[in-house]
Structure 1
Amino acid sequence: MAEAIFEVNTDLFLSKALQWSKGFDQVCLFQSNGFSDQYSQVDCLLAVAAKEVFTSTAGQSTFERLEQFKSRFPDTWIPGFLSYDLKNELEDLHTQFPNRTGFPDAYFFVPQYILRFKSGSVQIIADFPNEIYQAIQKEETLDPSYQVRGQVRSRMSKDDYFQAFHHILDHIKRGDIYEANLCQEFYAESAHIDQPESLFQKLNELSPTPFACFFRVNQSYILSASPERFLAKRGNTLISQPIKGTAPRGKNEAEDIALKQNLASNPKEIAENVMIVDLVRNDLTRSAIPGTVQVTEKLGLYSFKHVHQLISTISCEKNPELTDAEVLENTFPAGSMTGAPKISAMQLCDLYETARRGVYSGAIGYFAPEGDFDFNVVIRTIIYHAENQYLSFHTGGAITIDAEAEKEYAECLTKASAILSALGQSL
Structure 2
Amino acid sequence: MRVSIHKHIANPEQFKQQLLIWSQQFREVVFLDSNSYPQEYSSFDCLLAVDAFTSIKTDYHNAFDDLKQYQSTTKDWLLGYLTYDLKNNVEDLKSSNFDGLNFPDLFFFQPKKLFLLKGNQLEIQYLFLCDDEVEEDFTAISEIEYEPFVSLSGIEVQQRISKEFYIEKVTKMLQHIHAGDMYEANFCMEFFAENAVINPLEKFQKLNEISQAPFSVFFKNNKQYLLSASPERYLKKVGETLISQPIKGTSKRSLDPVEDEKSKEYLENDAKERAENIMITDLVRNDLSHTAQKGSVEVVELCKIYSFLQVHQMISTITSKLDPQYSPVDVLKTTFPMGSMTGAPKISVMKIIENLEETKRGLYSGAVGYFTPSGDFDFNVVIRSILYNQENQYVSFSVGSAITAQSIPEKEYEECLLKAKAMHEVLE
Which bracket does the TM-score occupy, shorter chain normalised? over 0.9
Kindly indicate whether the alpha-carbon contact (under 8 Å) linking 2:64 and 2:89 is maintained by their aligned counterparts in 1: no
Q: Which residue of 1 aligns with 2:272?
A: 268
Which of 17, 20, 42 is residue 18 of structure 1 equivalent to? 20
**1:120 Cα deviation (Å)?**
3.3
Q: Deviations over 1:301-352 (max 9, x none)?
A: 1111111111001111111101111110000001000011001111111011
Which of 403, 406, 413 is residue 410 of structure 2 equivalent to? 406
Kindly indicate whether the alpha-carbon contact (under 8 Å) linking 1:247 and 1:259 is maintained by their aligned counterparts in 2: yes
**1:102 Cα deviation (Å)?**
1.6
Kindly indicate whether the alpha-carbon contact (under 8 Å) linking 2:27 and 2:222 is maintained by their aligned counterparts in 1: yes
Q: Which residue of 2 aligns with 1:239?
A: 243
**1:121 Cα deviation (Å)?**
4.1
Rounded to whole Å, the distance in 1 between the matches of 2:38 and 2:27 is 30
- Correspondences of 1:23-422 after superposition (within 5 Å): 23-59=25-61, 61-74=62-75, 76-126=76-126, 127=129, 128=131, 129-141=134-146, 144-194=149-199, 196-422=200-426
Rounded to whole Å, the distance in 2 between the matches of 1:224 and 1:167 is 31
Rounded to whole Å, the distance in 2 between the matches of 1:156 and 1:415 is 15
Query: Structure 2: 5+ residue runs without aligned partners?
Result: none
Rounded to whole Å, the distance in 2 between the matches of 1:257 and 1:379 is 25
Residue identity matched to 2:47: L
Query: Structure 1: 5+ residue runs without aligned partners?
Result: none
Q: Deviations over 1:81-132 (max 9, x none)?
A: 0000111121111112233112101100001111112333432212232122
Rounded to whole Å, the distance in 1 between the matches of 2:20 and 2:312 is 31
User: TM (normalized to structure 2)?
Assistant: 0.95
Rounded to whole Å, the distance in 2 between the matches of 1:141 and 1:280 is 42
Secondary structure class of the residue paired with 1:300: strand
Residue identity matched to 1:116: L
Residue identity matched to 1:30: L
User: TM (normalized to structure 1)?
Assistant: 0.96
Kindly indicate whether the alpha-carbon contact (under 8 Å) linking 1:31 and 1:211 is maintained by their aligned counterparts in 2: yes
**1:36 Cα deviation (Å)?**
3.7
Secondary structure class of the residue paired with 1:298: strand
Q: Deviations over 1:257-301 (max 9, x none)?
A: 111111111110011001101111111111111211111111111
**1:226 Cα deviation (Å)?**
0.5
Kindly indicate whether the alpha-carbon contact (under 8 Å) linking 1:149 and 1:192 is maintained by their aligned counterparts in 2: no
**1:149 Cα deviation (Å)?**
4.9
Residue identity matched to 2:168: Q
Return 146-155 or 352-361, whichever deviates more. 146-155
Residue identity matched to 2:313: Q
Rounded to whole Å, the distance in 2 between the matches of 1:169 and 1:247 is 22
> For this pair of structures, how many residues does the alignment match?
421
Rounded to whole Å, the distance in 2 between the matches of 1:102 and 1:402 is 36
Residue identity matched to 2:70: F
Q: Deviations over 1:149-168 (max 9, x none)?
A: 53111100001100110000
Residue identity matched to 1:99: D
Whether 2:4 is the aligned partner of 1:3: answer yes
Residue identity matched to 2:118: K
Kindly indicate whether the alpha-carbon contact (under 8 Å) linking 1:284 and 1:331 is maintained by their aligned counterparts in 2: yes
Rounded to whole Å, the distance in 2 between the matches of 1:71 and 1:224 is 28
Kindly indicate whether the alpha-carbon contact (under 8 Å) linking 1:150 and 1:190 is maintained by their aligned counterparts in 2: no
**1:142 Cα deviation (Å)?**
6.0
Secondary structure class of the residue paired with 1:50: strand
**1:135 Cα deviation (Å)?**
2.9
Secondary structure class of the residue paired with 1:379: coil
**1:419 Cα deviation (Å)?**
1.1
Quick one: percent identity of the two aligned structures?
A: 46
**1:147 Cα deviation (Å)?**
2.7
Secondary structure class of the residue paired with 1:193: coil
Rounded to whole Å, the distance in 1 between the matches of 2:306 and 2:173 is 28
Rounded to whole Å, the distance in 2 between the matches of 1:165 and 1:103 is 28
Moved over 4 A (4+): none
